[in-house]
Chains A and B, each alone.
Chain A
Amino acid sequence: MSSARPQARQRVLATNEVELLYAKSKTYLHPTSAKKDNIPGFLSLTRGSNGTNLDILLSFTPESQLSSEEKKVYETVDVEDISLDLDAININSKSNINNTKIVASRIVPKPSVSLLSGYSFSAPLSYVYSIQVRKPSLGFWFGSIVINTKDGEKLPIVFFHDDESPSSQSSKRLSNKKFDPFDENGNMYWSGKEFINVLEKFVNVEKSTVTSSVYLINPDSGDLRNFAPITIEDKKNNSGDKKIEPIVLPDIGKLFASAKWKVLETVATISAKTKNQMINLLEENAPLTVKQIMNKPEVQRIGDDFDSARVYLAKWAQQVKEEAEESQRKNMLHDEIYSKINRELGSTEILTNEEISQSSRRKPINKQEWESFFDYSGRLKLTADEVKSRIFHGGLEDDVRKEAWLFLLGVFDWNTSTEDREQFKKSYETAYEELKLKWVTDEDKRATEFWKDQKHRIEKDVNRTDRNLAIFKNPHKKNPNANSEGNSNSRESSPETPDEDELDDESDISNIRNPHLYKLREILLTYNEFNEDLGYVQGMTDLLSPLYVTFQDESLTFWAFVKFMKRMERNFVRDQSGMKIQMNTLNKLLQFMLPNLFKHLEKCESIDLFFFFRMLLVWFKRELDWDHVLRLWEILWTDYYSSQFHLFFALSVLSDNERIIVQNLRKFDEVLKYMNDLSMKLNVDPLLIRSELLFLKFKRMIDIIDRDNSMKTIDAEVYESDVNANTGKNDKIIEISPELRGLLSKEIVIQKEVPRPEGVGGG
């Protein structure tokens, strides 16, 4: 069957037709406990024309409702090799765009749309909230899945009769043939888990941390907050390679406090084993009212027999929900980490609990979630701000970056369609080629002292950029294709820092043999021409390399770099004024937010904050692991709170080390050494939480001061006079410096380099 597929007849879907993506035979509803009442049918995933993956229908269709031809289609799809099928139906395409042809043998009538008619049901994946997977076990011969919808409705439980299903039988045989009936996690094969695996190909599926058998379907950020595992590890308490066990219930207080029906639904369906863990955790954390309920003997029995307990559980869940909502007003609990940071920052009186809980880190956006942001034409369905908010709080998984960074950096506008972007990409390519040609063809230019100087600088630095990455390692053999212009024989200098391979180390630095390094060179030479006033300055390779590694496309990387440099140009200007301004602003921010630390640094003669120079110049590229750099940058690019959030990140580094600095360091060089040596020891996630809390506190303080000031102005005009004098009077107007107020702006600060004076080099 599958080998014949390339020739398979294809046609366009009619409006009442769908493509059958997945079908599972011999799934049953058990309307009563009597075996004779069981309803056999097909569990299926189908997609209509013009539908995104979130429009895919999850349906149960009783065999009795299918014509014999239809049944044949379902049965055929059922036994096809699942992995082959998934390739064939092009899961990665965001949708079936109109007129896409579908293999005719997969076309079936659209399953009944009404949620519950007879014994069939059907719901789009966007409407499915969670699926609980209950594997076969003693006492429960058949595995089953429980589907919860976003409205809190529970669809009939679907039982998988694997012993009757031809596809399950063949899969089982397959695993038996491998003499390994278990999967990599040691679980025995059963088709319910396979169903989740299939779903994961289409939409974002998150395993709930509350109970591992529950999968959240395309959860929104609120759900993720309620269910998110705490991924942050406190490295300081964690000596070396000792792994911290994931916390089973990270967030019980918040979970109950923000309880919704669906949250409790999950709680209500916990298995006996997790229930005990839950009770232990509740003993310690839950409000008294919830504890009382948990200790009721009826509740203790839950999990013994799911079917008979269902009604009770539903009532119980309702009750817990009410109790929890009641207690929310009195007992708002937070994760240890938030409250710890918050206590340290002394912001409990300043920030609301809501603000504090919002600052938690979420899971990075994966491919499925990212694609769910777009409609069939590749246009954003959410607002750009919503996406940025999501990125700010979670970041991106690596395979999403290639697309998402182009939006974040402004290479593509958020409002474009896939088609628009293809168009733009082409014109970007042309424009880049033109720019590059300008210096490639201009021999006079390349003969100038300035040009040769800059080229030398670029080559020297390109050769020593991120040499630990495999992509930038020099090939061991000479690669003639990667050679540079014809003049590479003119040896300008020897490599200062040759390749790891001793044999290579006498090579000429302008003879770059790694094709990727070579492209970095081309991009920087072109940028050197593109922005003539600024040219190439040391540190730019650090900014370019993550972009290149992500896109691996010369012209796209160039334009992404151009956009990035727009905001980074001020770091590199000749007179260093841009850096001095930022260090000065950080200095003021430190005085404002962490006055005790500031006083101590003053004693250490360190308030010029020189040790932040490197961190600010290349946005912590030298202080963080590669992955953490990518995470931090994409978060900074969102300008979610402030276009200068990097200064709050810097402040968070100081804040995180405040106690150590104050207690141990006395001199300028000690402080500098300590701060320099934090390199590669910083952990980005806790610092991001701290940065966010610091920002929120900062904003609130400014609000309070502004409010007080305006009241004083109204009350007594007499006091308005000399605002600079520091007389310590309580009723003085407190002035917020423009630098500090500027930190509330999301507008990128742009400082262009002035034209290069005659005779001045690029140094």
Chain B
Amino acid sequence: MSGRKKTLLKVIILGDSGVGKTSLMQQFVNSKFSHQYKATIGADFLTKEITIDNNKQVSLQIWDTAGQERFQSLGVAFYRGADCCVLCYDVTNEKSLNNLTSWKDEFLVQSNVTNPQDFPFIIIGNKIDVDENKKIPSLQKKLQNITSNQLGGLNYPVFETSAKEGVNVEAAFEVIAKMALQQEELNDANGHDVSDDYNDAINIHLESEPSNCAC
């Protein structure tokens, strides 16, 4: 797809409950932070038009998801056609950092992407605005472990942000958009037919149901 038509890039935000996924999305799209967000149930998305690589217009469709693991089995409904996946953790919550690997694995299982090895992921550590003494002790080392040392480590770009104060959010999403665009172009080049994904998704959901409606 060339520059003449606006490209839609689909981005999925994943991560433990309460790391700030909704806040990140709101901060990026609407430049606001609220104390009134509720725990996300199901999934929702917001869209923002941005310009990258100087003159390329793209629409980022950013999907916000529920953080409790059991709700991920429904991800199959909306992971399809994703161009980039954002893995989030909370810089004050070690568990959320340790869970990044399983979020990634789960995504690859559910999304059924064609290139799991080089599908673009990005890592965001949120809440850097909080006091230093509340942050995960020796965070950088632990992060290092996760991103590079482990077998199949998450060797992806890392951003530390504050959705509350709007620190680094814009920059992170700019990188996200570039990575997503690359993925999109790759898919186009491969002549990847997105509708195959759609059919898969539908079949998985209604597998127990041959369409023999009573009416």
Contacts and interface: CB of A to CB of B under 8 A. Distances in A.
A538 B68 contact: yes
**Binding site secondary structure of chain B:** loop
B151 interface: no
B141 interface: no
Given A493-B134, A496-B20, A673-B45, A464 B37 contact: yes
B189 interface: no
Interface stretch (B107-115, B116-124, B152-160, B207-215): B207-215
Interface stretch (A21-29, A178-186, A730-738): A730-738
Given A467-B36, A494-B92, A496-B90, A608 B215 contact: no
A472 to B, nearest CB: 11
Contact of A608 (B18, B66, B131, B201): B201
A428 interface: no
B74 interface: yes
Name the residue among B36, B67, B127, B215 with the largest chain A CB count within 10 angstroms: B215
Contact of A591 (B68, B127, B213): B213
A736 B215 CA distance: 9
Interface string B190-215: 00000000100110011011101111
B69 A763 contact: yes
Contacts of B17: 457, 460-461, 538, 763
B39 A461 contact: yes
A576 interface: yes
A576 B131 contact: no
A505 B164 CA distance: 11
A323 to B, nearest CB: 44
A494 B35 contact: no
B201 A506 contact: no
Contacts of B70: 537, 572, 574-576, 763
B131 to A, nearest CB: 7
B42 A610 contact: yes
A644 to B, nearest CB: 17
B92 A575 contact: no
A605 B202 contact: yes
Interface string B41-64: 111110000000000000001000
A617 interface: yes
A83 interface: no
A604 to B, nearest CB: 10
A16 interface: no
A19 B118 CA distance: 87
Contacts of B66: 538
Nearest to B20: A496
Contacts of A498: 35
A685 to B, nearest CB: 25
A460 B74 contact: no
Interface string B16-33: 011110010000000000
B127 A494 contact: yes
B42 A494 contact: no
A607 B210 CA distance: 14
Nearest to A701: B215
**Binding site secondary structure of chain A:** loop
A538 B213 contact: no
Contacts of B36: 467-468, 500
Nearest to A763: B69
B159 to A, nearest CB: 18
Interface string A449-466: 000010001001100110
A575 B73 contact: yes
Interface string B133-156: 010000000000000000000000
B41 A500 contact: no
A592 B215 contact: yes
A496 B41 contact: no
Contacts of B78: 610, 668-669, 672
A539 interface: yes
Interface in A585-621: 587-588, 591-592, 595, 605, 607-608, 610-611, 613-614, 617-618
A505 B93 CA distance: 17
Nearest to A538: B68
B74 A494 contact: no
Given A464-B37, A595-B215, A538 B130 contact: no
B215 A591 contact: yes
Contacts of A368: none
A570 to B, nearest CB: 13
Contacts of A538: 17, 39, 41, 66-68, 71
Contacts of B71: 538, 576
Contacts of A613: 41-43, 74
Contact of B35 (A497, A541, A735): A497
Interface in B167-206: 198, 201-202, 205-206
Contacts of B198: 605, 668
Contacts of B205: 580, 608
Contacts of A608: 77, 201-202, 205-206
A341 B142 CA distance: 61
B38 interface: yes
Interface string A670-682: 0011001000000
Nearest to B163: A496
A538 B43 CA distance: 14
Contacts of A673: 44-45
Contacts of B74: 576, 579, 610, 613
Contacts of A740: 214
A734 B42 contact: no
Contacts of B43: 610, 613, 672
Contacts of A453: 95
B37 A497 contact: yes
B71 to A, nearest CB: 7
14 contacts: A496-B90, A506-B130, A542-B38, A584-B209, A591-B214, A591-B215, A610-B78, A611-B42, A614-B42, A617-B42, A618-B41, A672-B43, A672-B45, A761-B69
Interface of B: 17-20, 23, 35-39, 41-45, 61, 66-71, 73-74, 77-78, 90, 92-93, 95, 127, 130-131, 134, 198, 201-202, 205-206, 208-210, 212-215
Interface of A: 453, 457, 460-461, 464-465, 467-468, 491, 493-494, 496-500, 505-506, 537-539, 541-542, 572, 574-576, 579-580, 584, 587-588, 591-592, 595, 605, 607-608, 610-611, 613-614, 617-618, 622, 668-669, 672-673, 676, 705, 724, 726, 734-737, 740, 761, 763
